[in-house]
């Protein structure tokens, strides 16, 4: 992207190749002193003195420029916007999902949890590092809820089955690569009328943290569990 400031008469121009112009017509923006002039800025009169430019394009990092318009001077420059993609990994298979987890490793930045097949994996996308991974049963449901109020979402896994049902809670800030559940509740086999699709929800508490609200664990009941696995 080329930006030319022709201050002989104090005008601002922006030029780009034909291919880039077509793309920027839809997604590019030039903001001068906070006002958006779109993607095809031409012959914009400006006053002498300091000005701020913001160059913006979908999928790229904003570029901020500061310049002072002085009569009789021309300033030209080239700006290469950096792609906004911070991290990526290949993903294939079934049940593909990804959610923000919160700060799971204490570095002040949000981390991700991803599901692929029956694996739940937490990643630090800023350092390209796997934090932890748990394997869930086929057909298991899961929900994200900050049960203990530490700022990172915990992972609640519900497995309703004919041979019995199970609810497990994994801490979002697990310190091991293959963590054990923080707590688990198991239920023996139940009669057929109880069987059906379960659900896991999250209800924030005024004192901090949240309760897990679960349907499908015990026959005909909707239950709530606290941070220690205590039934409310």
- Is the pTM of the predicted complex or chain greater than 0.75? no
> Of 227, 152, 215, 146, whose CA–CA distance to 182 is shortest?
227
Domain boundaries, the chain: 2-78, 99-225
* Cα–Cα distance, 12 to 179 (Å, whole number): 58
Provide the pLDDT for residue 111.
92
Look at 195 and 135; give whichever has higher pLDDT: 135
- Residue with token string 């993607």: 39
* pLDDT reported for residue 39: 67
Edge to edge, the sheet with strand 49-57 lists 35-36, 28-32, 49-57, 63-69
| pLDDT higher than threshold 80 for residue 10 | no
pLDDT of residue 150 exceeding 90:
no
- The pLDDT > 90 percentage for the chain reads 14
Instruction: In whole angstroms, give the CA distance from residue 11 to residue 48.
Output: 10
Mean pLDDT of the residues in the chain: 79
Provide the pLDDT confidence category of residue 225 given band limits of 50, 70 and 90.
confident
pLDDT-derived band of residue 199, with 50, 70 and 90 as boundaries? confident
Return the CATH class of domain 99-225.
Answer: mainly beta
> Poorest-confidence range of 10-19, 54-63, 146-155?
10-19
């Amino acid at each position: 992207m080329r930006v030319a400031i022709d201050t002989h008469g104090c005008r601002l121009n922006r030029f780009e190749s034909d291919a880039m112009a077509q793309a920027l017509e839809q997604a590019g923006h030039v903001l001068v002193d906070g006002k958006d002039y779109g993607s095809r800025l031409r012959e914009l009169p400006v006053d002498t003195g300091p000005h701020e430019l913001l160059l913006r394009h979908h999928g790229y990092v904003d570029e901020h420029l500061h310049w002072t318009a002085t009569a009789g001077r021309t300033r030209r420059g080239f700006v290469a916007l950096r792609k906004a993609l911070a991290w990526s990994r290949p993903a294939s298979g079934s049940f593909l999902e990804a959610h923000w987890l919160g700060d799971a490793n204490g570095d002040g930045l949000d981390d991700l949890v991803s599901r692929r097949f029956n694996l739940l994996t937490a990643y630090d996308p800023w350092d390209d590092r796997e934090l932890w991974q748990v394997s869930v049963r086929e057909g298991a449901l899961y929900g994200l809820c900050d049960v203990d109020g530490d700022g990172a979402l915990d992972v609640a896994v519900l497995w309703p089955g004919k041979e019995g049902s199970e609810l497990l809670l994994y801490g979002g800030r697990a310190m091991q690569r293959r963590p054990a559940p923080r707590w688990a509740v198991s239920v023996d086999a139940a009669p057929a009328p109880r069987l059906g699709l379960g659900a896991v929800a999250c209800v924030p508490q005024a004192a901090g943290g949240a309760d897990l609200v679960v349907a499908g664990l015990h026959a005909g009941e909707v239950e709530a569990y606290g941070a220690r696995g205590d039934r409310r």
